[in-house]
Amino acid sequence: VVQGLEAAKNIGCLVIALTGINGGKCSDVANSTIKIASKRTSIIQECHIAIGHIISKIIEDYVFS
In terms of Cβ atoms closer than 10 Å to its own Cβ (0-12, 13-18, 19+), residue 32 is: exposed
DSSP 33: E
Q: What backbone phi and psi angles, to 5 degrees, belong to 61?
A: -65, -40
The domain ranges of the chain are 2-64
**Do 17 and 27 form a contact (C-beta atoms < 8 A)?**
yes
Which pLDDT does position 33 carry in this prediction? 97
C-alpha 53/C-alpha 65 separation (Å) is: 18
Which pLDDT does position 1 carry in this prediction? 94
pLDDT digits (tens, 9 = 90+) for 11-64: 999 999 999 999 999 999 999 999 999 999 999 999 999 999 999 999 999 999
